[in-house]
Chains A and B, each alone.
Chain A
Amino acid sequence: MADTFDEMHGTAGAVRSPFAAVKRWLAETPHDAFAHKRQEADLMFQRIGITFNVYGQSAGAERLIPFDIIPRVLNAAEWKRLSVGLTQRVKALNLFLKDVYHDQEILKAGVIPAEQILRNDMYRPEMRGVDVAGDVYVHVAGIDLVRVDEDRFYVLEDNLRTPSGVSYMLENRAVMMRLFPRLFSGASVAPVDHYPQELLRCLRSVAPPRATAEPVVAVLTPGPLNSAYFEHTFLAEQMGVELVEGQDLFVQDDLLWMRTTDGPRRVDVIYRRIDDDSLDPLAFKPESLLGVPGLLSVYRNGGVTLANAIGNGVADDKSIYPYVPDLIKFYLGESPLIENVPTYRCADEKDRMYVLEHLGELVIKETQGSGGYGMLIGPRSTREEREKFRGLIQKDPEGYIAQPTLALSTCPSFVDEGIAPRHIDLRPFVLSGRDGIAIVPGGLTRVALTKDSLVVNSSQGGGTKDTWVLRE
């Protein structure tokens, strides 16, 4: 691994300009005051109820995601570059989804092998020929970025189905402003509070053709046991719309209705936070109780808009990821502004040979995995783990990709031994509506609080930080 780039100190050690205010603040504040403020932060998160449920533990086990009070800072120029690159990428992914569910020009042109798409489990034949409102598929995208040096950011992963984490972006900021008001008066930080308004604007803009004059938006949640339930309630509250579960909705006269105390009421746009598979027991998993029988048919007939669209999984699957730079060239005629991490596809024989010979250096990921489960980090692995993955790859080459182990950038963080660098990533949230793309300046910075760990997922002990974008 090359020298690790630190967000505050670069590789040279001098403080980088975006962090000047933070550095001053760290130097001026006595450390026991920080300890006290950190406790206060935990208390605030607990009182507000910002918890997540851990899968595999007893039902309703609620945990706080560790919050680190040292912010991660990007200057205006860095953000500008990222935001243009993200816009480009999401625009291309949207066009790709429209294409694979309509004319399939990209398959005809041979840019991606057709079977790679059509035989993908995530491809939804039900969506063939369905026109979605405004041609928007990816209303909310969470694009995971990592940084390796002063100039280079990579896209690590696209999340185009039901990405979560935006409530942490907002609450982290709210808590930081409450704990350290003076820090903010010394720095010029772009606000993020308007995200829910932007989301509402985006959702209302894609009301279906048969919508009511004032489109009614609702957030559809699987319920209180879901790990992101807090976020669902939070977004519904902030947008001032209903938070519904499947049982609150029903289909009648080819329209979608919710049960209210004054009788049935039309719903036009559903911001759904449940999987494709669970949306409609008549069309998908019949045993699912989370969805609404008949929803797919209303959707296909333009009676309701689902955000995000059904079938997006075919664009954010890890087996499609290596092709995204080609998609950008194909649809926009542009070179990607933010590059992919170099990726080996185990389905490709040459790539596979290389991967099997270099298991100890690479990161191996399941193409369908998420949340940091089912991956091998070569340099940290035992011989036994590597042999296990060798077997898995040989058995199901299409199920795996591999990437070099990146020297993810670090950011100073509070840990048991004091302030120390820890690896971080960044998930900005990209909103696509009928009139274009909007990105609130910021995102969710996740931090691997264990020394040298590269896994930032909250399910694996990662924490979060407030993410600052400085104004010009």
Chain B
Amino acid sequence: MLSRTAENLYWTGRYMERAENMARILDVSHRTALQRPGGAVDADWKSVLDILGHWKSFLAKHEAPTASAVTSFFILDPDNPASIYSSVRGARENARALRAAISAEMWEVLNTTWFGMRDLDAAGLERRGLREFCDWVKERSHLFRGVSHGTMLHDDAFHFLRLGTFLERADNTARLLDTKYHLLQSADAGPAVTFYEWGAVLRAVSAFRAYHQLYKDVISPGRVVELLVIRREMPRSLRFCATEVSAHLDLLSKGRDLEAQRLAGELNARLRFARIDRILEAGLHKFLVEVIDGVAVLGNQLSKDFMMTV
């Protein structure tokens, strides 16, 4: 496959996953904010900005992290590279160069999603409601994933698409957890705070029910972290993502010894043989930062091993 095609596939996967994750975060923050007394609301929206490291670029455009300012910044702003608008556009632009490599159905999903996004303005978003909009984005992402799975050849093209998906997802899950790590040390974390704060994290990754199925107990921070870091059956956990990345890389290597494969194996082993109490003792923040860095290094290595310019 052309290296540039591989790169376009990888970014199509990443951008679509990024749009979905952004919708998840905004959806949950919105719900959490609804349950707060008035004054504390902005803090929730600020934490959204923190997750994505966009506090500074946000302040350059807006005065305070109000609900409408943050949502418009992360949904509609064409200049914000992290906005859902930019992600959907990015996915579609990359796919435009791929028309010979992906199925017609995949292209049509991305193309139609883009038209829906392009034609949305602030008034339209207001009418539609944030929840419904976020559901739509998630649905489009699910549709794209399903259509990809069901219509394209499961060959190299598929592997590159999935590499993009899982590297993006790992990065996102790690950042989501990282915004809450400070609560682990906080003295006033009573049962109610725990429920709402960590419950929100679970909901953001569609894992609220999964948590109860697995642990059959009230929500405890340690277990939430465990679920999202090392449980292999949880499709948005770091370990799950790392396992998928390794598997796709093994299929792409075709007998070569690639550095990306080694890096992925290392990350995979680390998550597979980790113990959650050790991670918490040593400091969750430190651990998560290492994972985020590891994912970035792996992304760069892909460009070297497959001659992409990622």
Contact = CB atoms under 8 A, between A and B. Distances in A.
A379 interface: no
Given A47-B112, A48-B111, A49-B111, 19 more contacts: A48-B104, A229-B96, A233-B97, A233-B99, A236-B100, A237-B99, A237-B100, A242-B5, A243-B97, A243-B99, A244-B2, A245-B4, A248-B2, A248-B3, A248-B4, A259-B2, A259-B3, A260-B3, A261-B160
A233 B100 contact: yes
28 contacts: A47-B111, A47-B112, A49-B96, A49-B99, A224-B93, A224-B96, A233-B100, A236-B100, A237-B99, A237-B100, A240-B100, A241-B100, A242-B5, A243-B99, A243-B100, A247-B4, A248-B3, A248-B4, A259-B2, A259-B3, A259-B307, A260-B2, A260-B3, A261-B1, A261-B156, A261-B160, A261-B306, A262-B254
Interface of B: 1-6, 93, 96-97, 99-100, 104, 107-108, 111-112, 115, 156, 160, 252, 254, 306-308
A214 to B, nearest CB: 17
Contact of A234 (B99, B108, B307): B99
B115 to A, nearest CB: 7
Contacts of A245: 4
A205 B5 CA distance: 27
Nearest to A60: B93
Contacts of B254: 262
Interface string A222-240: 0110000100011011001
A241 B108 CA distance: 21
Nearest to B89: A60
A116 interface: no
Contacts of A46: 111, 115
A307 interface: no
Interface size class on chain A is 20 to 34
Interface of A: 46-49, 223-224, 229, 233-234, 236-237, 240-245, 247-248, 258-262
Contact of A49 (B3, B6, B100, B107): B107
A241 to B, nearest CB: 8
A261 B3 contact: yes
A168 B2 CA distance: 27
A274 to B, nearest CB: 15
Given A48-B108, A49-B107, A242-B2, A261 B100 contact: no
A46 B119 CA distance: 14
A243 B5 CA distance: 9
Contacts of A240: 100
Contacts of A244: 2, 4
Contacts of B97: 223-224, 233, 243
A247 B6 CA distance: 14
Q: Which 4 A-B pairs have the closest CB atoms?
A: A233-B99, A237-B100, A261-B306, A259-B3
B107 A261 contact: no
